[in-house]
């Protein structure tokens, strides 16, 4: 069968990349393809810290932008309290 929605979802996934790298310091995340992994900047474009491309424990790739633990070995990928707190700051009360 295969619905149009599934096709679209797969197409979008291909456009953005199959895998995710993210910054442990500021939470910046980006998708990438395996083919361009060697050409990617390893530093975060936002804060300059090193991006995490793979699990530091088993080197499995990361497939979710919101992963807090490795899907393969469950090693923590970043501090979960950062994930739990809102990244957006409340605007100062200025009008
Ligand atoms: Zn960063
Ligand atoms: Zn792992």
What are the tens digits of pLDDT across the range 38-87?
888 899 999 999 999 999 999 999 999 889 999 999 999 987 655 555 55
Q: Are the beta carbons of 50 and 42 closer than 8 angstroms?
A: yes
- Protein residues placing their CB within 5 Å of the ion ligand 1: 23, 25-26, 28, 44, 46-47, 49
**Rounded to the nearest whole angstrom, what is the distance from the C-alpha of residue 71 to the centroid of ligand 1?**
22
**pLDDT value for 6:** 86
Tell me the per-residue pLDDT of 12-27, one tens digit each, with 9 for 90 and over: 666 688 999 999 899 8
Q: What is the CA radius of gyration of the chain?
A: 16
For residues 72 and 5, the model is more confident at 72
Among 82, 49, 87, residue whose Cα is nearest residue 68 = 82
Token output for 18: 């199959």
């Amino acid at each position: 069968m295969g619905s149009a929605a599934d096709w679209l979802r797969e197409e979008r996934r291909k456009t953005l990349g199959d895998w995710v790298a993210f910054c442990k310091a500021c939470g910046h995340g980006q998708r990438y393809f395996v083919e361009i992994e060697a050409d990617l900047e390893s530093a975060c474009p936002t804060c300059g810290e090193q991006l995490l491309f793979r699990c530091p424990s088993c080197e499995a790739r990361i497939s979710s932008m919101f992963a807090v633990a490795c899907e393969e070995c469950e090693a923590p990928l970043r501090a979960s309290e950062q994930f739990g707190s809102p990244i957006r700051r409340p605007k100062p009360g200025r009008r």
